[in-house]
C-alpha cells in the first residue's frame, strides 16, 4: 500500500478516535468546559499534560533544530525540560491551592484589580496566539507532504478538526483526547527511532545508540562520524557549540521560565481532585515527557548522518539528481526542499559553504527521517499521525486558554457578571471558534519555523506572567500597581525586540547587532528582569497591599486546607 493511502487510513483512524472521545466526553457545564469537572485521574492527567506540553515544536521541530545546530540545539532540550520541573515544583501546587484555574483570574484576585486582570488577559491571548501559530504551521507541514495538499489547505483541515473537539468538548473532551494523542505521538516517535538505532548501531535503545559504534564500521562511533562529516562540509563540529555563552544561558532561561508561565499548562493542575493529585500528575507528566526528550538527540543524529549520506553520497562527491532517493523529490513538491545546480554537474551537494546546492527546511527532519532511512511505508504514515497529534493536542489547549480568557476573565469577571452558566459556555465556544480562525491565518503566514515561533511565545510568557505569578505567591508586599507596570513593561520590551529583528530589520538579525549578544529567542529573560525591576520599584513608591490580601498570600504557602478548586 502506498504512503498516501496508509496516511489517510492511519491519520483518519486517529481523527475518528479523537472526535469519538470528544462526543463521549463533551462538556455540559462551564466547570467541565474549563477544568474537566476537576475529576481526572492523576495518571491520565499526567499523560494529557505531556501531550499538551509536547507540541509540534517538541515532536516535529526540536530534533530538526538539534540536527542542524548540533550542540547548540541542546538549549531547547534543557530549557523546556527544566521549565516543566520549575512549574511543577514551584508554581502549580500554590496556584492550585489558590483555586483560580486561569492566570488572569489569579492575577486579578491576588492583585485586587480588574485592570491587572485585563492586562493578564491581553498577555494570555498574545502569548497563546503566538504559540498556536507554530502548532497550525506544524499541521500544515505534515499534511502538505503526506496528504499531498498545499500547506494552506493542511492548516485549514487542522483547524476543522480542532474546532470540532475543542469547541464541543472543552477541557473535558480535550483531556481525554490528549491521552489518546499522547499514545499516538509517543508510539510514532519511538518506532522509527528504534528501527533506525538497530539498523545503524545494532542497539535497541536510541539513547544508547547515540553513543555506540556504527554497524559495518568497527571503531567508528556515531558522534565521531558526525563531527567528521560536519567539519568536512564546512559546518562547526557537531559536538561543539558556536553560540555565545550568554545567549545559551538567556535562551535556556527564557524557555524555562516561559514554560512556568504558560497558561495552558498551568490550567492542567486544576483538572484533578486535590493538590496532592496535582503533584502526582506533574511527576507522571515528567516521566512521559522524558521518554520523548531523551530520544530526540538520537533521532537528530541518525537523521543528520543519513541525510548527508543520501544527498552527498557515501563518497562525498554528490548524488546524481536523477538517482536521488524518493524522499528528496517528495519533499521538493512541498517547497520545503530546494535544489539549485550551481556547477551544472547534475549532482546534489549539501555543505555550509559555496558548495551548497540544497535548501532544507529544519521542520522536515523528524517527518522525513523514516523515508531517509528507507523504513516501511506504515512507519512513515505513523509518524505523520504522530506529528498531527502533537500539534493538535497543544493547539486545543491553547485555544481553550484564549476562549477562557475572553468568556470567563473578560466577560464574566468584567463586563457581564450576571450572565448565566449557559450563556458563559456559549461565549466560550464562540471565542474558541474565532480564535481558531485567527490561529489558522498565522499558521498559513508564520513568522518563522515552528520551534522558533514557539520560542518567541515562551519569551513573551517569561517576560509577562512569570514575575507576576512568582511575586504574587512569594511576596506579600507586591501590589497591583507594581504587577501591572511590570507585566506591561516586560511584554512590551520583549515583543518590540522580537518584532524589530524578525520583521522590521531581519537583515540585521546577527549577533553583532543584538543587545549584549542576546538573540530574539533569548530576549524573554531580559524582559523578565525588566518586569521584576519595574514591579519592585513601582511597588516601593505606591500604596501598600491591603491587610486581607497579605493574609491570603500567607495562607497560600501553607499546606493546610488544600481542598478542591472552588467554583466561580
Output the DSSP codes for 308-336: HHHHHTTTTS-EEGGG--HHHHHHHTTTS
Query: What residues have CB less than 8 Å from 447, skipping those under 6 apart?
Result: 133, 453, 456, 502, 503
Question: Residue 161 and residue 440: Cα distance in Å, rounded?
Answer: 12
Q: How far is CA 323 from the centre of its chain?
A: 37
Question: Residue 293 and residue 296: Cα distance in Å, rounded?
Answer: 5
pLDDT value at position 566?
45
pLDDT value at position 467?
92
Looking at the predicted structure, is the pLDDT value of residue 275 above 80? no
Looking at the predicted structure, is the pLDDT value of residue 312 above 50? yes
Give domain limits for the chain.
3-303+375-461
pLDDT value at position 568?
44
Model confidence pLDDT, tens digit, residues 127-167: 877 777 777 777 777 777 777 777 788 888 878 877 776 66
Of the chain, the percentage scoring pLDDT greater than 70 comes to 92
Contact status, residue 452 vs residue 521, Cβ threshold 8 Å: yes
pLDDT value at position 209?
93
pLDDT value at position 452?
63
Looking at the predicted structure, is the pLDDT value of residue 206 above 60? yes
Q: What average pLDDT is seen over the chain? A: 83
Q: Per-residue pLDDT averaged across 401-421, rounded?
A: 78
Contact status, residue 435 vs residue 163, Cβ threshold 8 Å: no
In 485-555, beta strands by DSSP E: none
**Would you place residue 567 in the very low, low, confident or very high pLDDT band (cuts 50, 70, 90)?**
very low
Place of cell 499521525: 385
Contact status, residue 380 vs residue 3, Cβ threshold 8 Å: yes
Question: Residue 35 and residue 13: Cα distance in Å, rounded?
Answer: 27
Question: Residue 492 and residue 531: Cα distance in Å, rounded?
Answer: 10
Q: Per-residue pLDDT averaged across 336-365, rounded?
A: 89
| Nearest residue to 451 (alpha-carbon basis) of 184, 66, 82 | 66
Model confidence pLDDT, tens digit, residues 431-469: 888 888 888 887 777 665 555 677 788 888 889 988 998
pLDDT value at position 490?
94
| Nearest residue to 32 (alpha-carbon basis) of 128, 156, 169, 196 | 169
pLDDT value at position 27?
57
Question: Residue 417 and residue 520: Cα distance in Å, rounded?
Answer: 40
Cβ–Cβ contacts within 10 Å for residue 82, how many?
Answer: 17
Look at the alpha carbons of 37, 40, 45, 47 in this order and tell me if their dihedral is positive or negative: negative
pLDDT value at position 18?
78
Looking at the predicted structure, is the pLDDT value of residue 560 above 70? no
pLDDT value at position 166?
65
Looking at the predicted structure, is the pLDDT value of residue 199 above 90? yes
Place of cell 524578525: 502
SS3 state at 43: helix
Model confidence pLDDT, tens digit, residues 524-556: 999 999 999 999 999 999 999 999 888 888 887
pLDDT value at position 314?
80
Of the chain, the percentage scoring pLDDT greater than 90 comes to 25
Looking at the predicted structure, is the pLDDT value of residue 52 above 80? no
Start-to-end Cα distance in the chain: 53
Looking at the predicted structure, is the pLDDT value of residue 356 above 60? yes
Say how many residues make up the chain: 568
DSSP-derived secondary structure letter, 558:
S
| More confident position, 88 or 481 | 481
Cβ–Cβ contacts within 10 Å for residue 516, how many?
Answer: 11
SS3 state at 250: helix
Query: What residues have CB less than 8 Å from 560, skipping those under 6 apart?
Result: none
Query: What residues have CB less than 8 Å from 16, skipping those under 6 apart?
Result: none
For residue 418, what is its C-alpha cell? 450576571
pLDDT value at position 250?
94
Q: Per-residue pLDDT averaged across 49-68, rounded?
A: 82
- Cα-based distances in Å from 328 to 7, 146, 203, 307: 18, 14, 27, 10
Place of cell 568497527: 218
- Cα-based distances in Å from 180 to 123, 176, 392: 30, 7, 12
For residue 465, what is its C-alpha cell? 506572567
For residue 234, what is its C-alpha cell? 564546512
Looking at the predicted structure, is the pLDDT value of residue 62 above 90? no
Burial of 358-386, coded b for 16+ CB within 10 Å and e otherwise, reads bebbbbbbbbbbbbbbebebbbbbbbbbb
| More confident position, 421 or 202 | 202
Looking at the predicted structure, is the pLDDT value of residue 170 above 70? no
pLDDT value at position 409?
75
pLDDT value at position 528?
95
Q: What is the dihedral of CA 435, 448, 122, 179, to 10 degrees?
A: 60
SS3 state at 139: helix
CATH superfamily of 3-303+375-461: Sodium/glucose cotransporter (1.20.1730.10)
**Would you place residue 101 in the very low, low, confident or very high pLDDT band (cuts 50, 70, 90)?**
low
Question: Residue 269 and residue 292: Cα distance in Å, rounded?
Answer: 22
**Would you place residue 484 in the very low, low, confident or very high pLDDT band (cuts 50, 70, 90)?**
very high
Look at the alpha carbons of 273, 277, 282, 285 in this order and tell me if their dihedral is positive or negative: negative
pLDDT value at position 207?
93
Looking at the predicted structure, is the pLDDT value of residue 260 above 80? no
The bridge status of strand 347-348 relative to strand 217-221 is unpaired
DSSP-derived secondary structure letter, 267:
G
For residue 43, what is its C-alpha cell? 495518571
Crossing angle for the helix pair 450-474 and 480-499, nearest 10 degrees?
A: 170
**Would you place residue 561 in the very low, low, confident or very high pLDDT band (cuts 50, 70, 90)?**
very low
| Nearest residue to 263 (alpha-carbon basis) of 70, 458, 489 | 458
Amino acid at each position: 500500500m502506498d504512503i498516501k493511502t496508509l496516511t489517510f487510513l492511519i491519520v483518519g483512524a486517529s481523527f475518528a478516535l479523537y472526535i469519538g472521545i470528544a462526543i463521549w466526553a463533551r462538556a455540559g457545564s462551564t466547570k467541565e468546559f474549563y477544568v474537566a469537572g476537576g475529576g481526572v485521574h492523576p495518571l491520565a492527567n499526567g499523560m494529557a499534560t505531556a501531550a499538551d506540553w509536547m507540541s509540534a515544536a517538541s515532536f516535529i521541530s526540536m530534533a530538526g533544530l538539534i540536527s542542524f545546530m548540533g550542540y547548540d540545539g541542546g538549549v531547547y532540550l534543557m530549557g523546556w525540560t527544566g521549565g516543566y520541573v520549575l512549574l511543577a515544583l514551584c508554581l502549580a501546587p500554590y496556584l492550585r491551592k489558590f483555586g483560580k484555574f486561569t492566570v488572569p483570574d489569579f492575577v486579578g484576585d491576588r492583585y485586587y484589580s480588574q485592570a491587572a486582570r485585563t492586562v493578564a488577559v491581553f498577555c494570555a491571548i498574545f502569548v497563546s496566539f503566538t504559540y498556536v501559530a507554530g502548532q497550525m504551521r506544524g499541521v500544515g507541514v505534515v499534511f502538505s507532504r503526506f496528504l499531498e495538499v498545499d500547506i494552506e489547505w493542511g492548516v485549514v483541515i487542522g483547524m476543522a478538526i480542532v474546532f470540532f473537539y475543542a469547541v464541543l468538548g472543552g477541557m473535558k473532551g480535550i483531556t481525554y483526547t490528549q491521552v489518546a494523542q499522547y499514545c499516538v505521538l509517543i508510539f510514532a516517535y519511538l518506532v522509527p527511532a528504534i528501527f533506525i538505532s538497530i539498523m545503524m548501531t545494532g542497539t535497541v535503545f536510541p539513547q544508547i545508540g547515540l553513543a555506540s559504534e556504527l554497524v559495518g564500521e568497527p571503531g567508528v562511533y556515531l558522534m565521531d562520524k558526525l563531527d567528521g562529516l560536519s567539519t568536512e562540509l564546512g559546518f562547526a563540529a557537531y559536538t561543539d557549540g558556536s553560540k555565545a555563552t550568554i545567549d545559551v544561558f538567556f535562551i535556556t532561561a527564557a524557555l524555562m521560565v516561559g514554560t512556568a508561565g504558560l497558561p495552558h499548562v498551568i490550567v492542567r493542575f486544576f483538572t484533578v481532585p486535590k493538590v496532592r493529585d496535582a503533584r502526582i500528575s506533574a511527576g507522571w507528566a515528567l516521566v512521559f515527557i522524558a521518554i520523548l526528550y531523551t530520544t530526540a538527540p538520537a533521532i537528530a543524529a541518525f537523521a543528520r548522518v543519513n541525510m548527508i549520506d543520501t544527498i552527498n553520497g557515501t563518497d562525498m562527491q554528490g548524488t546524481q539528481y536523477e538517482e536521488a532517493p524518493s524522499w528528496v523529490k517528495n519533499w521538493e513538491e512541498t517547497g520545503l526542499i530546494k535544489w539549485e545546480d550551481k556547477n551544472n554537474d547534475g549532482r546534489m551537494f549539501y555543505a555550509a559553504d559555496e558548495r551548497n546546492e540544497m535548501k532544507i527546511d529544519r521542520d522536515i527532519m523528524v517527518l522525513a527521517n523514516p523515508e531517509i532511512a528507507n523504513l516501511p511505508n506504515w512507519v512513515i504514515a505513523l509518524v505523520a499521525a504522530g506529528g498531527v497529534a502533537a500539534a493538535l493536542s497543544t493547539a486545543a489547549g491553547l485555544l481553550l486558554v484564549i476562549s477562557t480568557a475572553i468568556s470567563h476573565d473578560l466577560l464574566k469577571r468584567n463586563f457581564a457578571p450576571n450572565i448565566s452558566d449557559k450563556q458563559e459556555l456559549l461565549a466560550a465556544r464562540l471565542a474558541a471558534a474565532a480564535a481558531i480562525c485567527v490561529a489558522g491565518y498565522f499558521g498559513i503566514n508564520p513568522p518563522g519555523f515552528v520551534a522558533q515561533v514557539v520560542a518567541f511565545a515562551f519569551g513573551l510568557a517569561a517576560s509577562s506572567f512569570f514575575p507576576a505569578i512568582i511575586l504574587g505567591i512569594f511576596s506579600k508586599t507586591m501590589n497591583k500597581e507594581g504587577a501591572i507596570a511590570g507585566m506591561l513593561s516586560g511584554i512590551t520590551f520583549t515583543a518590540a525586540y522580537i518584532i524589530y529583528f524578525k520583521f522590521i530589520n531581519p537583515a540585521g538579525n546577527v549577533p553583532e547587532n543584538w543587545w549584549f549578544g542576546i538573540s530574539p529567542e533569548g530576549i524573554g529573560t531580559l524582559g523578565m528582569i525588566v518586569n521584576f525591576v519595574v514591579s519592585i520599584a513601582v511597588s516601593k513608591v505606591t500604596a501598600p497591599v491591603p491587610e486581607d490580601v497579605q493574609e491570603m498570600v500567607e495562607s497560600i504557602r501553607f499546606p493546610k486546607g488544600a481542598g478542591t478548586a472552588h467554583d466561580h
